[in-house]
Amino acid sequence: MTQTSRHWWQSATVYQIYPRSFADSNGDGIGDIPGIIGKLDYLRDLGIGVIWLSPICASPMRDNGYDIADYQAIAPMFGTLEDFDRLVAEAKVRGIGILLDLVVNHTSDQHRWFLDARSSRDSRYRDYYVWRDPAPDGGLPNDIQSTFGGPAWTLDPATGQYWFHQFAPEQPDLNWANPELRADIYRMMNWWLERGIAGFRMDVINLIAKEPDRGITADGPKLHDYIQEMHRETLAGRDVMTVGESWSATPATALLYSGRDRAELSMVFQFEQVMQQWHETWGKWQPKPFDLVALKRVIGRWQTALADDGWNSLFWGNHDLPRAVSKYGDDKRYRVESAKMLATVLHLLKGTPYVYQGEEIGMTNVPFSSIEQYRDIETLNMHRLHLEAGLPETDFITGANENGRDNSRTPMQWNDAAHAGFTAGTPWIEANPNYERINVAAAKADPESILTHYRRLIALRRTLPLVIDGRYTPWLEAHPEVFAYTRTLDTQSLLVIANFTARDVTIDIPAALRGDWQPLLDAAPALLRERATLAPFEVITGLADRSFQF
Ligand code: GLC
Ligand code: CA
């Protein structure tokens, strides 16, 4: 791909903000839009080009805004529409675009469409949702389960039918088969696009074309027709970026979403490496040990499948996942080393990198010990179901501390003042007690901090075309402790060799890779001989004016 045919979002780095937990401007304990505006200089200095905002629309907040009651109003706890317009304008001045979270698989049960739909079988909004009669025995229409635990059907006694919800009962699924619903969604999207946003992150977009009568939830037959229609009606002719969340995407289906001639999305988020670490029955609540070979295999498959068409999103964490350094690194003795190593490995891959708030200072999972400390609807529901199934509570808490969603939702750690400088009041969820050591102010004062390292990586993507366009070639694929690859563009190459363990690891260097490597990221130049020893979580990087054949 030549430089001129590139899209702006291929050289940009995205930063995800979970508004509730980022910065509180008025002391009510909840982050808000004015709080975000106050941190824009920090984000500009980090070098990012896009902010993805988790939902900010009016919502009863059962699922922290992923249950929207009004798509065209800002939740009062986050601010006003004027605040939002100011955010867009102030971000733009700093070269940053705003990506909104488009949650259109479902609404809140407090959305006026659902309130109306529920009021009568004859409501003009009835068919905006998915209703079914009880089974002949009066029971559930079928046995589809919801993601947050329990059946995906809830009975509405007043109208005698069940509504369908792939998440909580308070998140009724929209019926995308209804063309009027689709037109309303597109009108709403255009309204936001005309306010100057840079695009959308699309929540569980793979689920919209559900056909529950046939047991189909993800990847319904009409999915890509809907996304193409959406593209025609909203995105076409606008220079925006879109990223679809798809827990079912594979390297093959990724091209259906992001292929050059598909007119659908810029890219998808995929979760193959996340899910392969989960227990068969109890999922993320009983995690399996980390398997680097499996992780590399997934990443390699995606890098290869989207090498010439489509585009990858690159991320270690988000608001649904544990903290990267706790999951894939060492959040104790080697926290700094492993956080930098993980950042290097990810940011030098081909794709658009995403940084989840706090990752750039190496924030860690929380050490909660009681269920009272959690806030997440999924964690609380699963806790109840685990206890009902007779499983020990301590096992559940261990699982939740390893993989639960609140790990990434504790307040952003700005300084060592009370509650990490996040709020002057009482935060809606406790700050991680390690904020006294791990915070932005401390990172800024340290020239070798994780934060500095992120700045260098983000800047490198803007200045070195190889990082954007270079071909990915894995090496040592079966090695259980080392992640190694090269990227090559014309006659220039980049090398990454990362130790994922807390031990020294010695590897043999193939003849082709031996020799001098120019420094990258302020590291020392590397001279590779027959063998190399990597210190715990060390990553070796280098640049060379040659290309490699393996
Ligand atoms: C997505 C969101 C998650 C939310 C769910 C339902 O997976 O990332 O936070 O709970 O969709 O909207
Ligand atoms: Ca607030």
Residue 36 Cα, ligand 2 centroid: separation in angstroms? 10
Ligand nearest to the CA of 34: 2
Is residue 96 over pLDDT 90?
yes
Rounded-to-integer distance, Cα 393 and Cα 336, Å: 32
Average pLDDT, the chain: 96
pLDDT tens, position by position, 214-268: 999 999 999 999 999 999 999 999 999 999 999 999 999 999 999 999 999 999 9
**Bridge-partner residues for 499, per DSSP?**
482
What does the pLDDT read at residue 287? 81
Instruction: Tell me if 134 sits within 8 A of 162, measured CB to CB.
Output: yes
- Give the residue, out of 57, 67, 269, 320, with the most ligand 1 atoms within 8 A of its beta carbon, to mutate for a pocket test: 320
Q: What local confidence, expressed as pLDDT, does residue 474 receive?
A: 96
List, in sequence order, every residue forming a beta bridge with 242; answer none if it has no partner.
Answer: 200
**Considering only CA atoms, which residue is closest to atom 2 of ligand 1?**
203
Report pLDDT for 210: 98
Catalytic pick among 203, 320, 360, 406: 203
- The yes-or-no verdict on residue 125 having pLDDT over 80 is yes
Asked if 320 and 403 touch (Cβ cutoff 8 Å), the reply is no
Q: Compute the C-alpha angle 386/246/64, nearest 5°.
A: 55
One of 24, 83, 173, 245 is an active-site residue; which one?
245
pLDDT at residue 549, as a whole number: 65
Interior/surface letters 64-83, b for 16+ CB within 10 angstroms, e for the rest? bbbbbbbbeebbebbbeeeb
Q: Indicate the top mutation candidate among 56, 146, 204 to test ligand 1's pocket, ranked by most ligand atoms within 8 A of CB.
A: 204
Centre a 10 Å sphere on the Cβ of residue 306 and count the other Cβ atoms it contains: 22
Per-residue pLDDT for 55 more than 50?
Answer: yes
Q: Residues 23, 105, 281, CA angle at the centre, nearest 5°?
A: 90
Whether pLDDT at 71 is above 60: yes
Structure tokens at 358: 């706090």
Q: Please identify which residue in the block is written with the tokens 């025609």.
A: 232
Spatial CB neighbours of 148, under 8 Å, sequence gap ≥ 6? 167, 168, 377, 378, 381, 382
Count of residues making up the chain:
550
3-class SS at 174?
strand
Q: How far apart are CA 394 and CA 392, in angstroms?
A: 6
- 3-state percent breakdown (helix, strand, coil) of the chain, nearest 5: 35, 20, 45
Strands 161-164 and 131-132: antiparallel
490-524: pLDDT as tens digits: 999 999 999 999 999 999 999 989 999 999 987 78
| Strands of 411-517, DSSP E | 471-475, 482-489, 492-499, 505-508, 515-517
Listed residue (184, 211, 207, 189) closest to 116, CA to CA: 184
pLDDT tens-place string over residues 155-179: 999 999 999 999 999 999 999 999 9
CB 274 within 8 A of CB 247: no
Query: 245 an active-site residue?
Result: yes
- Is it the case that residue 455 has pLDDT exceeding 90? yes
Instruction: State the pLDDT at residue 277.
Output: 87
Longest Cα–Cα distance of the chain, Å, equals 77
Q: What is the pLDDT of residue 2?
A: 42
Is 32 catalytic? The answer is no
288 confidence band (pLDDT: 50, 70, 90): confident
Assess whether pLDDT exceeds 90 at residue 3.
no
Which whole number is the average pLDDT over 46-66? 98
* 286 pLDDT above the threshold of 90: no
Q: Which amino acid, residue 329?
A: G
CA distance 282 to 285: 6
**Tokens 């699922």, located at residue:** 63
Q: Which residue has a Cα nearest atom 12 of ligand 1? A: 66
Q: Is the pLDDT of residue 56 over 70?
A: yes
Q: Whose CA is nearest to atom 6 of ligand 1?
A: 66
How far apart CA 396 and CA 200 sit, in angstroms, is 34
Q: Which domains does the chain have, with CATH numbers?
A: 3-105+179-363+407-457 (3.20.20.80), 112-164 (3.90.400.10), 470-544 (2.60.40.1180)
Which residue CA neighbors atom 5 of ligand 1 most closely? Answer: 66
H or E element: which one contains 53?
A: strand 50-53
Q: The tokens of 284 are what?
A: 């993320």
Q: Is the pLDDT confidence value at 289 over 90? A: no
Position 23 confidence tier, pLDDT thresholds 50, 70, 90: very high
Q: Are 472 and 307 in contact (CB under 8 A)?
A: yes
Q: Which two tokens stand for residue 30?
A: 């909840």
The pLDDT assigned to 550 comes to 58
Question: What is the whole-number distance in angstroms between the Cα of residue 22 and the centre of ligand 2?
Answer: 10
Considering only CA atoms, give the Rg of the chain: 24
Confidence of residue 391 (pLDDT cuts 50, 70, 90): very high
Cα–Cα distance for residue pair 62/163, rounded to 1 Å: 18
Ligand nearest 28 Cα, by number?
2
First to last CA, the chain: 22
Identify any residues that bridge with 14 across adjacent strands, giving them in sequence order: 50, 354
The atom of ligand 1 lying closest to the CA of 105 is 12
Question: Which ligand number lies closest to the CA of residue 427?
Answer: 2
Task: Please say whether the beta carbons of 495 and 544 come within 8 A.
Answer: yes
Q: Mind listing the pLDDT tens digit for each residue in 528-543?
A: 999 999 999 999 999 9
pLDDT value at position 67?
98
Three-state SS across 268-295?
EECCHHHHCCCECCCECCCCCCCCHHHH
Q: Ligand 1 pocket: which residues have CB below 6 Å?
A: 63, 66, 103, 167, 203-204, 245, 319-320
